[in-house]
Every structure is written in structure tokens, then in C-alpha cells.
Structure 1
Amino acid sequence: MIPARKVALFGGSFDPIHCGHLEIARQAVEALDLDEVRFIPCRVSPHKLDHPPAPADVRLEMLKVALANLPWATIDDSELHQPPPSYSCKTAARIHHQEPDSRLFWLVGTDQWESLPRWREPEKLCELLEFIVFSRGAPPEPRDGWRMHPIHGDQPASSSAIRDGARIGKIPTEWLPQGVEELIIKHQLYQS
């Protein structure tokens, strides 16, 4: 019997994608022997309705550049073509329907893990997949009935700090994958 493919879904604004995102994904691949990490840029996050992201086509371009040399990384741009906001439960249900034999995971940070019960239809997510929870500090608290795999790291990169730096002309380049800074400058992103 062929073992199920292990696929982690990694949703987010990726505004911009940074080395922290890549490190979290790499650690998940190693810790759980994943076949694939699927980056899913959202059109508009329901948790960030007051902060419109950079244009979707530019965020997608940054993802393509950042992931170009990672054989386990793919992009699913389906949420970019849906009416906003983007809901993880709809995406997970669609992927589960398309790939019923895959073992699905959702990759989140501890802040998202703690807020998951307030997401749209969290019980559906709980049925469809397992969670990989990345923490920088204390390990995440288990939750009855939820399948969770903790991973730990200390990657300090932050999309909001990168955007703030770009506003004042001081992009923290050490936090950006090769080629992403050039796209931020080319498209004049995050300037006041």
C-alpha cells in the first residue's frame, strides 16, 4: 500500500513573503517528512480587513521568486480569484475534495492556533486536517479533539517590520529571500 502524500497548507497574506515563512515551512518539512508545502496567498484576510495588502499579482510574483529553488514548495493561487475575504475552511474543503487520499495539514503560528476557535467553521478544519503549530516561545497548548504537531524556532522576520522599514527606506534585507527586495523596490511597495 502506497503511503498518503503529506501536504501542508500554508495560508497567509505573504505581504511580503520573508525568510521566516521559508524557515517555518522547512522545519515542518523536516519534522513531519512532508512531501509538499503549499503556499496559499489570500486575497484579503478576514483578520486584516483594515490593512489592504499589496496587489495580488505582485505578492504572487514575490512568492514565485522566493520559492523557485525549493522542490517541496508549491503555490495555490485559488484564493486570489475568489471574492474576499478568504476563509481557510473553504480552501481546506476544496483541497480535501480534490485530493481525498492526501494527508492534509495546516501550518500556523501560535497566535493563529490560539485564535482558531474564532475562525469560520473551525470544526470543519478540525475534521479535514491536522495542524502544525510553529512557536517561538512556549509550546502551544493542546486542544481536545484537534490533531496538533508543535515545531519550534526563533526566526525573527516579520512582514509588518519589513513594511515599516520600506516606508522609511530601510528594508531589513536579511529577512528577505533573494529577489524579493528587488520586487519591493520595483513596484514601490509599502511606501507612504
Structure 2
Amino acid sequence: MRSQVSVTPKVQYQKVFSQRRKRIGLYGGTFNPVHNAHLLVADQVGRTLCLDKVLLMPDMIPPHVDKKSAIAADYRVDMLKLATKDNPMLGLELAEIERGGVSYTYDTIKELKERHPDTDYYFIIGGDMVDYLPKWHRIHELMRMVNFVGVRRPGAENKSDYPVIWVDVPEVDFSSTDIRQRCHDGRSIKYMVPEAVEKYIKEHQLYID
């Protein structure tokens, strides 16, 4: 008679848990520089949707029609590391920096899903970018690969014919452009960026010219 091996509930639970798909948020941008509104969005979305982690993903060259100039990627990555180090919900994804060239979301998601087939990705964008979705590179294929998460923005339509998960986040009315201008003018950026990022900007004399 064949002997039977019993499995304790604890072992069964561990097996099921180990097979659970990961839920990872991706928050892309130039982050020139990263600021507290970026961190607020990432943290709020991650906790609202019960994600395992939200990874801030700096681009190398954004594919926008209005090309954005940014400081060297090394500076932006350093500031992101400083900004996220004290929050276990947040981390970094450097796929676009490492790949180089124009950062198309389709290429990035395709690469990440090939590397991490056990992961479901939630791509976080503002309401203004939701309005722009019909013009995204290979958008119909991309929609089958990733879950889009929209954060409502003043002045945007904040609606879409595409499936978008909407998350309400407190509005913070400043941008990286505002911070760069303040640095150029010698004005304070305290409480607009993490203290460590403010110190880094001053030490490396960024955004002065």
C-alpha cells in the first residue's frame, strides 16, 4: 500500500504564497529633479492598490513631441536613490537608463515582462498623459501587457476610452520646472524636495545655469 505524505496547512500556505504573482507599480518620468509630489503619488498609489512595491523609473530620452532637456542620468538616479531610501514601498527601475536611447514604454514593458514573467505591472501616469494615450507608441499592444493607473490632474479631461484604474491623490501644485527655476534664481526649495535631495542639488550646484 502506497504511503501518503500529509502537508501541513503552514506548508500549503507557504507554497501558495510563493506562487502568488507580484504586483509592481511603475512610475516613469524624467525626474529632473525628483520632488515630493512624485513621492506622494508613488506612495499613495502603491498603498491604495495594495501593490508590493512602486518603482520610480527615470527615462533616458523621453519620446515626447516637446523634447525635454535633462541633466545627466547619473545625477537624476542619485537623487532618486536618496529620495526613496527611507520608504520600503518605493524603489528604482533603471531599465530605460541602461537601455539608452528614446524611452518608449512599449519596449520597456516588453523587456520587463520577459525578465519577470511572474509580475503584473501597474503603470502610473497623470491625467494629462491619460489624455495623450491614443498617441502612445503601439498603445493597443501595450494595453494588453500592462494595467494603466491614472492620477487625476487639474486641467486634464481625466477620462479615457481605454481601461484605466483611477486613484485619487492629494494635489500638490508644483513641478520639477518650478524647482529648477527656483534653483536658478537662488530661492528656497525646502519642503518641495526631500532634505537629502536639496543637499545634493546644492553640493553639485545643479540647475544654476
TM-score, structure 2 normalization: 0.85
Q: Report what 2:144 is aligned to.
A: 127
Structure 1 runs of 4+ with >4 Å offset: none
Residues 146-183 of structure 1, C-alpha deviations (whole Å, 9 max, x = no match): 24233232122310100111111114221101211111
Partner of 2:96: 79
The aligned counterpart of 2:123 is 106
Asked if 1:59 corresponds to 2:72, the answer is no
Provide the TM-score with structure 1 as the length reference. Answer: 0.92
Instruction: List gaps (5 residues or longer) in structure 2.
Output: 1-15
Residue 136 (structure 1) shift: 3.6
Is 1:143 aligned to 2:131, yes or no?
A: no
Q: What is the aligned-residue RMSD (CA, Å)?
A: 1.8
CA distance in 2, matches of 1:101, 1:50: 34
| 8 Å Cα contact 2:184-2:208 kept in structure 1 | yes
SS in 2 for 1:64: helix
Is the Cα–Cα contact under 8 Å of residues 56 and 92 in structure 2 kept in the other structure? yes
Letter in 2 for 1:97: E
Instruction: Report the number of matched residues.
Output: 191
Distance 1:45 1:153 in 2: 26
Is residue 136 of structure 2 the alignment partner of residue 153 of structure 1? Answer: no
Deviation at 1:55, TM superposition (A): 0.8
Question: Deviation at 1:123?
Answer: 1.4
Q: Distance in 2 between matches of 1:15 and 1:111?
A: 18
CA displacement at 1:139 relative to structure 2: 7.4
Contact 1:126 1:147 in 2 (8 A): no
Using the alignment, how far apart are the partners of 1:110 and 1:76 within structure 2?
22
2-structure distance, mates of 1:103, 1:22: 21
Q: Bigger relative contact order, structure 1 or 2, given CA contacts below 8 A and separation 6+?
A: 1
1:37 maps to 54
2 CA distance for matches of 1:25 and 1:59?
17
